[in-house]
């Protein structure tokens, strides 16, 4: 009995410690009651999407979308909000922090919208439709079908971006076509791309990261037969975030954010013309 009580106490203390360190932002209800709104925006660095600018301040397409949302709240609803941008260096930790946060917490990390994730997170409407591509070293023979993967990539190791759908895609390929496929986990897009260019690994990456790496001169190739198109990215929030409906309204206003001239110009500005066209066609 005493042992059970001690275990229960430890579990309670751990839960309280976790709660004490949770990320919290002002709720809409608190803001309408007169409190100053401070929304916490966690972000993971990704070139063009969210990064530190020359002035040391965050910039990028998703940063700009959140800033425009704040402007829209002021103009359309007379709600003044401050955005507290906080960088998180690890994608898995970023995801967990937003999931475990409370109130006005938002996450910018190019998170794919899935039904499974909807059980633990809230999503904005999609801000882009992505295509995931399998890459390897330039000069490799083309993989014309998934069944050809074991032969052409013999001697290589799959490298999955830990905690993402890119890891899941490789695991699914292994289960269906290559049960003995060696698999390691990486923690950044640059790590995956450099390993593919070195000829030691193959990996799934987002299409825009592939084109950006090619433009920098990295010797990698794409295997179009294994493209996985159609996934959509959304801004993530804790389930109790009560700003969700206003964020939905913002995305829908004036015939839709993604249709707007502002958004099209912002995509070209932050991502470049080639990648903007890839993601809008």
The SS3 of residue 236 is strand
What does the domain layout of the chain look like in residue ranges? Answer: 22-129+231-280, 131-230
- Whole-number pLDDT of residue 98: 98
Q: Using the structure block, give the residue that is written with the tokens 């260019």.
A: 197
Euclidean distance between the first and the last CA atom of the chain, given in angstroms as a whole number? 64
Of 117, 281, 138, 145, the closest CA to residue 207 belongs to 281
Could you tell me the mean pLDDT of each successive run of 10 residues in the chain, 281 residues long? 51 44 93 90 95 95 98 95 96 96 97 94 95 95 96 97 93 97 94 96 93 91 92 96 98 94 96 85 64
Bridge partners (DSSP) of residue 42 are: 86, 107
The number of angstroms, rounded, from the C-alpha of 46 to the middle of its chain's C-alpha atoms is: 9
Question: Under CATH, domain 131-230 is a member of which superfamily?
Answer: Periplasmic binding protein-like II (3.40.190.10)
- Whole-number pLDDT of residue 182: 97
Rounded to the nearest 5 percent, the helix, strand and coil shares of the chain are 45, 25, 30
pLDDT tens for 230-239 read: 789 999 999 9
C-beta of residue 36 within 8 angstroms of C-beta of residue 79: no
C-beta of residue 239 within 8 angstroms of C-beta of residue 120: yes
- Whole-number pLDDT of residue 5: 54
The class (CATH top level) of 22-129+231-280 is alpha beta
- Whole-number pLDDT of residue 11: 44
Q: Same CATH topology for 22-129+231-280 and 131-230? A: yes
- Whole-number pLDDT of residue 3: 56
- Whole-number pLDDT of residue 281: 64
Token digits of residue 100: 């475990």
- Whole-number pLDDT of residue 95: 97
- Whole-number pLDDT of residue 234: 97
- Whole-number pLDDT of residue 156: 97
- Whole-number pLDDT of residue 163: 87
- Whole-number pLDDT of residue 130: 87
**Other C-beta atoms within 10 Å of 18: how many?**
10
With the CA atoms of 235, 236, 241 and 246 taken in that order, what torsion angle do they form, in degrees rounded to the nearest 10? 20
- Whole-number pLDDT of residue 31: 93
Q: What's the CA gap between 275 and 273, in Å, rounded? A: 6
Rounded to 5 degrees, φ, ψ at 186 are -115, 175
């Amino acid at each position: 009995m005493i042992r059970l009580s001690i275990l229960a106490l430890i579990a309670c203390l751990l839960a309280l410690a976790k709660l004490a360190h949770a990320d919290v932002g002002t709720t809409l209800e608190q803001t309408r009651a007169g409190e100053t709104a401070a929304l916490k925006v966690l972000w993971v660095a990704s070139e063009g999407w969210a990064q530190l600018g020359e002035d040391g301040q965050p910039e990028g397409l998703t940063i700009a979308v959140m800033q425009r949302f704040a402007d829209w709240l002021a103009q359309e609803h007379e709600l003044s909000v401050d955005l507290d941008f906080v960088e998180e260096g690890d994608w898995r930790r970023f995801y967990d922090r937003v999931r475990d946060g409370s109130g006005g917490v938002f996450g910018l990390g190019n998170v794919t919208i899935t039904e499974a994730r909807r059980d633990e997170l809230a999503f904005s409407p999609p801000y882009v439709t992505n295509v995931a591509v399998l890459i390897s070293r330039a000069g490799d023979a083309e993989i014309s079908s998934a069944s050809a993967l074991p032969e052409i990539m013999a001697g290589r190791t799959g490298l999955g971006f830990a905690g993402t759908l890119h890891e899941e895609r490789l695991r699914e390929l292994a289960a269906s076509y290559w049960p003995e496929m060696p698999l390691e986990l990486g923690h950044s897009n640059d790590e995956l791309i450099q390993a593919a260019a070195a000829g030691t690994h193959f990996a799934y990456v987002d299409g825009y990261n592939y084109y950006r790496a090619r433009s920098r001169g990295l010797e990698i190739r794409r295997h179009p037969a294994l493209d996985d198109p159609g996934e959509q990215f959304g801004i993530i929030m804790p389930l109790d975030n009560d700003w969700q409906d206003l964020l939905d309204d913002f995305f829908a206003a004036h015939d839709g954010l993604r249709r707007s001239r502002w958004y099209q110009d912002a995509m070209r500005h932050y991502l470049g013309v080639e990648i903007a066209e890839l993601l809008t066609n």
